[in-house]
Chain A
Amino acid sequence: KAGVTQTPRYLIKTRGQQVTLSCSPISGHRSVSWYQQTPGQGLQFLFEYFSETQRNKGNFPGRFSGRQFSNSRSEMNVSTLELGDSALYLCASSSVGTGLYEQYFGPGTRLTVT
Chain B
Amino acid sequence: AQRVTQPEKLLSVFKGAPVELKCNYSYSGSPELFWYVQYSRQRLQLLLRHISRESIKGFTADLNKGETSFHLKKPFAQEEDSAMYYCALKNGANNLFFGTGTRLTVIP
Is the pairing of A and B real? no
State the A residues within 8 Å of B (CB). none
Residues of B that sit less than 8 Å from A by CB? none
